């Protein structure tokens, strides 16, 4: 892969993608996170819906290691489903 990126880029504080999303939601809760459909969803709304789904899955006994399938049309709800699972 050297021919694509010969220079290493050090990462000072590596974070998981969900941590980066949560950080962005805290920094800019009213900013548009999903622009698809009749109106955009803010980071606060997307995080809230994803957390609502995550809590519902946990109540049903699912854990971090449980596989969950998502069957949805391209929509803000699909994005929330990806973050909530």
Q: Mind listing the pLDDT tens digit for each residue in 43-70?
A: 999 999 999 999 999 999 999 889 999 9
With cut-offs at 50, 70 and 90, classify the pLDDT of residue 75: very high
Residue 5 has pLDDT above 70, yes or no: no
d(CA 7, CA 2): 8
Number of folded domains in the chain? 1
Output the pLDDT for position 14.
Answer: 81
6: in domain: no
Domain range for 63: 17-84
2: in domain: no
Identify the CA nearest to 77 among candidates 41, 26, 24, 32.
Answer: 41
Output the pLDDT for position 37.
Answer: 83
pLDDT over 70 percentage in the chain: 88
Domain with 48 in it: what CATH number? 3.40.50.980
d(CA 45, CA 47): 5
Q: Reduced to 3 states, what is the DSSP secondary structure of residue 23?
A: helix
4: in domain: no
pLDDT tens per residue across span 25-37: 999 999 999 999 8
d(CA 81, CA 83): 5
55: in domain: yes
10: in domain: no
């Amino acid at each position: 892969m050297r021919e694509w990126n010969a220079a290493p880029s050090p990462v000072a504080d590596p974070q998981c993608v969900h941590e980066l999303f949560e950080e962005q939601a805290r920094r800019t809760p009213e900013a548009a996170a999903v622009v698809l459909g009749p109106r955009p969803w803010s980071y606060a709304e997307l995080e809230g819906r994803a957390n609502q789904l995550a809590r519902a899955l946990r109540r049903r006994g699912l854990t971090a290691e449980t596989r969950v399938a998502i069957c949805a049309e391209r929509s803000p709800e699909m994005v929330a489903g990806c973050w909530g699972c």
